[in-house]
Amino acid sequence: MSTEALRPPPSRPLSPRRGAWMRPLVGGGLWPAVPAVAYLLVFMVLPIGTLLLFGFVTIERGRIVGDSFTLEPMLRALSDPLVWRLMWRSFWVAAASTVLCLLLAYPVAFAYGSLRGVWRTLLLVAIVSPLLTSALVRTYAWLVILGGRRGILNQSLIWLGVIDEPLRILNTDWAVLIGMTQIHLPFMILPLLAVLSERDRRLEEASLNLGASRTATFFKVIVPMSIPAIFAGLALVFAVSYTNFIIPQLLGGGNYSTLAVQVYEQTIVVLDWTRGAVLATLLLSTCFLFVLAIVSLGSRLSRWNEVRR
Amino acid sequence: MSHLVIDNVSKSFGELPVLRGCSLSVEKGSVLTLLGPSGCGKTTLLRTIAGFITPDAGRIVVQGNDISDMPPNRREVGYVFQNYALFPHLTIAANVAYGLKVRRTSRAEVARRVEDALRLVDLSTFADRYPAQLSGGQQQRVAIARSLVLEPSVLLLDEPFNALDARLRLTMQIELRKLIQRVGITSIFVTHDQMEAMTLSDTVAVMHKGVVEQFGSPLDIYDRPRTAYVANFIGRANVIPGEVANGHFDDPARIATQAPAGPAVLVVRPENVTVEPATAGDAAPGWPGTVTFTTALGPTVEYEIDCGWPEPLRAIAPRSPGRPQAGPGDRVVARIADPAAAVVLRRQDGAHVH
């Protein structure tokens, strides 16, 4: 057999029509992502785009009136103090529950790193299991726990003698905060878990060896090393908290509203699609800005992570 | 009293004994190497000195102070990790400053001492880089500077050259030895590489299965190994089984020994074995055998000779051009050049003997 036979067949030269922009696609690089991208385009970007468009056109009898592009509904919403109040509440409730999530999640993720064997598995199951039930069901569960005089929480506290009169938690900001924090906690724990359990323990030994106490080591080595995971969790939890309308609706009560709740009410109950679309535009764009702010702060604080030789 | 004393330290992980009554001492400013194969307990002993592991029994004494119960962050004992364990989120200067900052040293003094430490390891221009931007050898120097800047009383180094390629390893060994001499710091290395141990240390402790088998200067251990294990671990050795009777070992010639009567082994270094062609009528005692393999290394020739034992006899002889040398298949007689340099050891039951 000649050596010619062993050679691979000459590859077909790229046709000149395939421009430079195609390069990452040629040879498999980005091809595997095509189905997912196509799916998102057709079933997410397109419908959301259509929906948002409703805020900038005139709708009569369920039909878009041609050539009726208008900024008027948007300007009206922006000059409405109620909209700003709703947005502020959406923001601070989401921000507060996100911070609460971080404070609760970090010790859990940290403890997971020091557990071994069956205990580790049990903790992981405990962390993930809430995700197996629907968020709606869990919200109703909080309704039962926090609800009025007969709620589990008040009954237990009265029985224990901690309080005489039932606490009014349901239908307040507290109920929304408690529910949101519990329901979104796994989204904060999981990214932290991955980083904290795989961390390099020798760095902690090195810190101790250099004279730092365990507390100093935690704040000067362990926390800074987990900043990418912290900010991934913050962005994730903030986004889902800021846009959630079920939890504020159910636990905040009938008079409690946020921007996301209003989007739902205007679109589904009031059937004012224009206003619903305008508020949805505001909700999505502000959410995007906040998440962008979180992510860019995170990468500023972990610039070392991008350094490569 | 010695600068650092390890007194009868024992440690078990569960049922598994890792250190069994280890005792050592290091003089101020000298370099000790813990040498042994992986799993012999050498790293455990080093980590015990640093305080990462609490011994089950025994004491560790530095400058007369028992530090056995002291937490690792109070010990003033520098530790250079095998993979350096530099903080990836801090610059080189901040890595070196770390220990000074946790001690609340004034800003001006931190700056001055960090600069001095980086100059010492010749890395001043890298102060603002991150560890990921440095080569392995440079990272090692940062790790050393990070420890030395705190002026510890002892410097511990866990296989510091393992992560470096062979060429760089040799350079760094010599550089590190010079650095340690210049600073004058008492140091303990851990290694499984006997050449490294010989290059670096004033004293060597050969460890095996959690026990210090022999403790002494490198040449002392080379010349007078106390066990067959040590003989084989430091340099190469022919270990020949036999008997001691009436104060001498009789194979191939009479060698006087202090060893008690009974089963024994003779330890002969390859360079102490001469090889001559077998000639009829040669009555002088020796080991007859057949050359099976030769390796010419320029100045020397190495022979492997089959003398009918499970392991071939190894000999290293000087080579001179023009003089014919024995080749594979040749009948030869091997003899001990200097009987005084051969060592007779009592054969331990179960000991691995070639």
Chain B hits for A216, CB-CB cut-off 8 Å, are: 102
The minimum CA-CA distance between A110 and chain B, rounded to whole Å, is 19
Chain B hits for A229, CB-CB cut-off 8 Å, are: none
> Phi-psi region for residue B7, left (φ > 0), alpha (ψ -120 to 50) or beta?
beta
For A302, nearest residue in chain B (alpha carbons): B89
Q: Examine residue B232 and state whether it is found in any structural domain, yes or no.
A: no
Report yes or no: B10 and B180 within 8 Å, Cβ to Cβ. Answer: no
- Supply the pLDDT for residue A273: 87
Q: Does B98 touch chain A (CB under 8 A)?
A: yes
Closest CA to B273 of B229, B225, B239: B239
- Supply the pLDDT for residue B8: 94
Sheet strand arrangement including B255-256? B255-256, B248-249, B238-245, B262-268, B343-346
Percent of chain B having pLDDT more than 70?
Answer: 98
- Supply the pLDDT for residue A74: 92
Same domain, B37 and B75: yes
Q: Examine residue B335 and state whether it is found in any structural domain, yes or no.
A: yes
What's the average model confidence in pLDDT over B237-254?
82
Which spans in B91-165 are helix H?
Answer: 92-102, 107-120, 136-148
Nearest-CB residue to A202 (from B85, B147, B150): B85
What's the average model confidence in pLDDT over A57-66?
77
What's the average model confidence in pLDDT over B293-311?
88
Q: List pLDDT tens digits, range A242-274.
A: 999 999 999 998 889 999 999 999 989 998 888
Closest CA to B39 of B21, B22, B18: B18
pLDDT band, very low/low/confident/very high, at A1 (cuts 50, 70, 90): very low
C-beta neighbour count of B274 within 10 angstroms: 15
Q: Does A301 touch chain B (CB under 8 A)?
A: no
Residue A4 has pLDDT above 70, yes or no: no
- Supply the pLDDT for residue B352: 45
Beta strands in B97-208 (DSSP E): 154-158, 186-191, 203-208
Give the torsion sign (CA, A149, A155, A157, A159): positive
CA distances from A242 to A27, A104, A286, B54 (A): 41, 19, 10, 50
Q: Examine residue B42 and state whether it is found in any structural domain, yes or no.
A: yes
- Supply the pLDDT for residue A26: 62
DSSP assignment letter at B60: E
pLDDT band, very low/low/confident/very high, at B232 (cuts 50, 70, 90): confident
- Supply the pLDDT for residue A281: 94
**Which among B75, B83, B100, B102 is the top mutation candidate for probing chain A, defined by the most A β-carbons within 10 Å of its own β-carbon?**
B102
Same domain, B213 and B241: no
Residue A72 has pLDDT above 60, yes or no: yes
Q: Does A212 contact B98 at a Cβ distance shorter than 8 Å?
A: yes
- Supply the pLDDT for residue A82: 94
Q: Does A75 touch chain B (CB under 8 A)?
A: no
Q: What CATH number does the domain located at A80-301 have?
A: 1.10.3720.10
The reply to whether omega before B312 is within 30° of 0 (cis) is no
Q: Examine residue B352 and state whether it is found in any structural domain, yes or no.
A: no
CATH code of the domain containing B253: 2.40.50.100
Cα atoms in the Cβ-side hemisphere of radius 13 Å centred on B162: 15
CA distances from B74 to A209, A212, B172 (A): 8, 9, 30
Nearest-CB residue to B146 (from A210, A213, A224): A210
Q: Does A211 contact B150 at a Cβ distance shorter than 8 Å?
A: yes
What's the average model confidence in pLDDT over B132-137?
91
The minimum CA-CA distance between A250 and chain B, rounded to whole Å, is 44
Give the torsion sign (CA, B14, B18, B24, B26): negative
CATH code of the domain containing B26: 3.40.50.300
pLDDT band, very low/low/confident/very high, at A161 (cuts 50, 70, 90): confident
Q: Does B89 contact A307 at a Cβ distance shorter than 8 Å?
A: no
Q: Does A53 touch chain B (CB under 8 A)?
A: no
User: Which of A305-309, B166-170, B298-302 has the lowest average pLDDT?
Assistant: A305-309
Nearest-CB residue to A304 (from B75, B89, B98): B89
Mean model confidence pLDDT for chain A: 88
Same domain, B196 and B256: no
Q: Examine residue B320 and state whether it is found in any structural domain, yes or no.
A: yes
- Supply the pLDDT for residue B220: 92
Q: Does B132 touch chain A (CB under 8 A)?
A: yes
Q: Examine residue B353 and state whether it is found in any structural domain, yes or no.
A: no
Same domain, B167 and B308: no
Chain B hits for A195, CB-CB cut-off 8 Å, are: none
The domain boundary, picked from B195, B223, B251, lies at B223
Tokens of B342: 């051969």
The minimum CA-CA distance between B91 and chain A, rounded to whole Å, is 8
- Supply the pLDDT for residue A217: 96
Chain A hits for B88, CB-CB cut-off 8 Å, are: 225, 304-305
Q: Does B130 contact A202 at a Cβ distance shorter than 8 Å?
A: no
- Supply the pLDDT for residue A309: 46
Print the domain residue range for B309: 237-346
Higher pLDDT, B245 or B93: B93
Nearest-CB residue to B102 (from A200, A202, A210): A210
Q: List pLDDT tens digits, range B170-217.
A: 888 888 888 888 889 999 999 998 888 988 899 999 999 999 999 999
Q: Does A304 touch chain B (CB under 8 A)?
A: yes
Percent of chain A having pLDDT more than 90?
Answer: 59
- Supply the pLDDT for residue A20: 62
Chain B hits for A309, CB-CB cut-off 8 Å, are: 132-134
Same domain, B217 and B333: no
- Supply the pLDDT for residue B310: 84
Size of interface A-B (CB pairs under 8 A): 79
Tokens of A224: 């800074």
Q: Examine residue B213 and state whether it is found in any structural domain, yes or no.
A: yes
pLDDT band, very low/low/confident/very high, at A19 (cuts 50, 70, 90): low
Q: Does B89 contact A225 at a Cβ distance shorter than 8 Å?
A: yes
User: Which of A159-173, A222-236, B177-191 has the lowest average pLDDT?
Assistant: A159-173
Same domain, B50 and B147: yes
What's the average model confidence in pLDDT over A40-63?
86
What's the average model confidence in pLDDT over A117-125?
93
Does an H or E element contain A293, and which? helix A273-301
